A = this chain, B = another copy of it.
């Protein structure tokens, strides 16, 4: 091998000049070595704003509003204090009202699992004696549909809440707001995935007559459970509180078990409640969701904030709401979930993304905390390295790092929290959501779990609204 020493000499005789285009990784590494690098900021723009609106990306008033919003979100102290029938605690619920997940929806556009769950709820409430009767009622417009999110509530998957269902009552001890969520039914054939057979209805009745009253009594006896503290602990134990909820369920069970024993109910009922908790590793999901709703609502309606305060899917559309943009939903068709399927099922069976459970990602857990929950990849696919990367990516589109939800594997760094619509637009990075997959037909149930993102269109529409609001403001 021969070497052209002239070229080598030239190379070694000149000082190095480095230009870094786009991502800063290379320039950062050179910085650390004491080598100067010119940084050229460059990304392909997701949308083009009007020239006078470009300043939105660096507006100090928006920064301040977002800090206030995320501060409210993290300061919330969601206390789980009771379990009560929905009709007693949810605003504007009548005997023919059915709340559902996601943005507003009518029967005609409802997906299979949403229809399945609504049919099940009508059977459960005794409004219909058969699925056909129930469908006919719904088609005639004899039931009223409304998003859970409009009534201080959230529900996983179809998220259907009917008047007799017991819901968990969460009070924000640091504010005035309340949040509610149904009780988690477990995996497989359950109402929230669109199943509505006899065992589904029977479980709902047992919730109403046994589980709800007993757990409510235990919660009242112990003065409630601090869900922020419990969720922080669960996250340190490998849950991300969306698709892995084992640690949270364990913590909750151990916390209420003594008071449950003392609630005065028959021994067989107490044992049955504890056995249900023992058999349902997902029970904590609904607690995390109610906590998330209480925190997200506390962060809503901060003037000037571009922070997302709701992400929810009704099985047909994905919708977001933004703290500074009032109650308007920005919607687009739900996307398919990439993930692992239960034996016998595949992507062709899957309904598009559905459920209010993305409230967990909205408040900095779920997909945003995957780095702390590597064991979850056995359920949703991918590797522990993917789980780490998902969380790291979210720091690029969020407003803060969570004060309480900290990930040991990241040296106790707080989870990324508070999605900034502007940052999603600027980077093209979408929030990551890890979620369950429902069968697309009514009456079947869960068929898998995986990863999904909100449609970019939701953020683009929201950015346009921010742009218009800004134009009005400065005009």
Contact = CB atoms under 8 A, between A and B. Distances in A.
A145 interface: no
Contacts of A270: 261
Overall SS of chain A's interface: helix
Contacts of A247: 237, 247, 250
A192 B95 CA distance: 60
A13 B9 contact: no
A235 to B, nearest CB: 10
Contacts of A251: 250
Nearest to A387: B408
A35 interface: no
B258 A275 contact: yes
Nearest to A250: B250
Contacts of A411: 374, 383-385
A12 B246 CA distance: 59
A262 interface: yes
A419 B26 CA distance: 43
A125 interface: no
Interface string A241-271: 0000011011101110111011000011011
A119 to B, nearest CB: 33
A272 B268 CA distance: 19
A474 interface: no
Interface in A342-388: 374-375, 383-385
A3 B238 CA distance: 55
Contacts of A108: none
Contacts of A262: 267-268, 271
A409 interface: yes
Count identical subunits in the complex. 2
Contact of A12 (B8, B254, B259): B8
A274 interface: yes
A440 to B, nearest CB: 32
Nearest to A239: B237
Interface residues of A, number: 43
A5 interface: yes
A1 interface: yes
Contact of A261 (B3, B236, B271, B408): B271
B238 A258 contact: no
Given A253-B253, A262-B271, A13 B8 contact: no
A183 interface: no
Interface in A380-407: 383-385
Nearest to A371: B409
Interface in A144-198: none
Contact of A238 (B13, B238, B267): B238
A458 interface: no
A261 B254 contact: no
Contacts of A272: 258
Given A238-B238, A262-B271, A383-B411, A277 B250 contact: no
A385 to B, nearest CB: 7
Contacts of A261: 261, 267, 270-271, 274
Given A1-B13, A257-B257, 6 more contacts: A5-B9, A237-B237, A250-B254, A259-B271, A262-B268, A384-B412
12 contacts: A5-B5, A233-B246, A253-B253, A254-B277, A254-B278, A255-B278, A257-B257, A258-B271, A258-B272, A261-B270, A384-B409, A384-B412
Q: Which 9 A-B pairs have the closest CB atoms?
A: A250-B250, A374-B408, A258-B275, A258-B274, A261-B271, A237-B237, A257-B274, A253-B254, A3-B12
